[in-house]
Amino acid sequence: MSAQQAISPGAMNSSRNSGLVLTCVCACTILVVGLVAAINLAVPMLAASRLHPSSSELLWIVDAYVIVFACLVIPGGAAGDRFGRKGVLMGGLVTFAVGAAISATSANVPILLLGRAITGVGAALVLPNCVGVLVHATAPERRGRALAIWGVTSGLGGLVGNIAGGALLTSGSWRVLFAAIVPIALLCALFVALAVRRSCHSPRNLDPAGTALLVATTIALLIGIIEGPERGWGSAVVIVAFAASAVLGAVWIATELRAHHPLLDPRLFRIPLLSSASLGMLVLFFGSFGLFYLNASLLQYGRGYSVLQAGIAIVPMTLPMVIGTRWIPSLVRRIGIPVTLFAAFVFIGIGLFGLASAVHQPYFIYAMWLVVIGVGLTLALPCLTAEITAALPPEQAGIAGGLQSATRELGSALGVAVVGTVMTASFIQHLPQNLKHDVPVPRTVAEAISTAPALHTGIIDAFTTGASTALRVASVITCIAGVFVVAVAIQANRGHRKQNTVAGSEVRNQ
């Protein structure tokens, strides 16, 4: 029997199964990415629920999932390499279902936060191993197309989360959102069991010390940001949180520098292209998820939209991604990455600022600013992904993918924390005078309305003013950081051209 005959049955089987595996991993990806967006629609319901969460607790309910997701996504990929991607992916989906079940049945905020954190662990095990499973199951000649489809799916996960989440929340209970996730996650796990073949294991180090320190550093930082408005920026809790974050961050760097197989080697950030692109990805999702956190409440409180209408109303932002993504590579080749990134951050910054001024204008105007932001995201995402990938050699592609996912989720967590914090501070400042003298001062719309129903209009005005202020702050931060990212990209491109010129001269001299 020839070698060609020997391998053809496996190749044919791989070809047959690759489409099924692609469908499977896309479904899993939509599930974990969609939940990041869907929870924002439930914020008004949660605020008015029997749990009576404070403004800071609302931020933690949204962020608990994203923080754990961000910090564990790199070790989640390492776990798949070491123990087998199929098994870890299935375990992640089951963990996701367990966390959702705990969230759906939680009797108080701490239990809900526990459920959200467990769901984040599941998501961190799912997302990186979706890519590994897809690459393993797809023939090399079809791999590029399969990864492109998966990339588009991950980008549209937020849209699906908004629409599906809005539909589920029309029941009137936030618990339905989490309850519905349980059977969906378990069905996805069954799909994986039937469609995906086992892959080889590799002795990859998981770096538990580095992982624990990274999680602790991030949580300490967000405690300071989120608790600042409620406890006071000079309070012991906030000061200790920021100090602990700085100390833990330094210990994490020292630990990773000494580790033989670090979770994420800090020395990589000496590469200008990698550090600027990582910052760019973080800032990109800082702005977009800060917007997502405010947008659902802004539409429901400020415009009186139903939860489903609020979910559908974000659709204009996704139109440029659906229509224009295919043209971005040719555009980048024509005008270059720095110019494309400059245009992207200008669109996002102006879009956020314009959206802040459109909160009382007709929805059509509001939707146009969403489209402007969508154009910026469409321009930036492929460029930043390409920069992160190009900054590292091909054998470190796994690190590049993990870093991209980690910076995305960390940016999302910081966006929700910072934008939510600014919004709360401005909301309190603009409350009607009667409520400012209450002890304690209401910090959410639900608290304020339950305290003084007759002041409903003034309370909503205070909220929309706070949201507008927060969007303007996000706009300024995005533009300032964007200038830095573009400047480093220009410098890196000049260095690359100089290196190519020198190499070309050496070749000619030889």
H-helix or E-strand containing 41?
helix 3-41
510 residues of the chain, pLDDT tens digit each: 444 444 444 444 455 577 788 888 889 989 998 888 889 889 889 988 888 888 888 888 988 898 888 888 888 877 887 788 888 899 999 999 999 999 999 999 999 999 999 999 999 999 888 877 887 777 777 766 777 677 667 767 878 888 898 899 998 889 999 999 999 999 999 999 888 887 666 666 677 888 888 888 888 888 888 887 777 778 888 899 999 999 999 999 999 888 877 777 888 888 877 888 888 888 888 888 888 888 888 888 888 888 899 889 988 988 887 787 778 778 878 888 888 888 999 999 999 999 998 888 999 999 999 999 989 988 888 778 777 777 776 556 556 667 777 888 888 888 888 888 899 889 988 888 888 776 678 888 888 888 888 888 899 999 999 999 999 999 998 888 888 888 877 876 666 555 544 434 443 455
Q: Please state, in angstroms and rounded to a whole number, the distance separating the CA atoms of residues 21 and 25.
A: 6
Same topology, domains 13-199 and 270-437+453-496? Answer is yes
146-197 residue pLDDT tens: 776 776 677 678 788 888 988 999 988 899 999 999 999 999 999 998 888 8
CB crowding 216-235: b at 16 or more within 10 Å, else e: bbbbbbbbbbbbbbbbeeee
Closest CA relative to residue 376, chosen from 439, 447, 456, 287: 287
For 109, list phi and psi in degrees, rounded to 5. -65, -45
% residues pLDDT > 70 (the chain):
88
For the chain, the structural domain boundaries read 13-199, 212-262, 270-437+453-496
pLDDT at 144: 65
Q: Measured between alpha carbons, how far is 295 from 313 in angstroms, rounded to an integer?
A: 9
Within 13 A of 190's CA, how many CA atoms are on the CB side?
6
Superfamily of structural domain 13-199:
MFS general substrate transporter like domains (1.20.1250.20)
Q: What confidence tens digit (pLDDT) does each residue in 478-489 have?
A: 888 888 888 877
pLDDT, tens digit (0-9, with 9 covering 90-100), for 188-241: 999 998 888 876 666 666 778 888 888 888 888 888 888 877 777 788 888 999
270-437+453-496 has which fold? Growth Hormone; Chain: A; (1.20.1250)
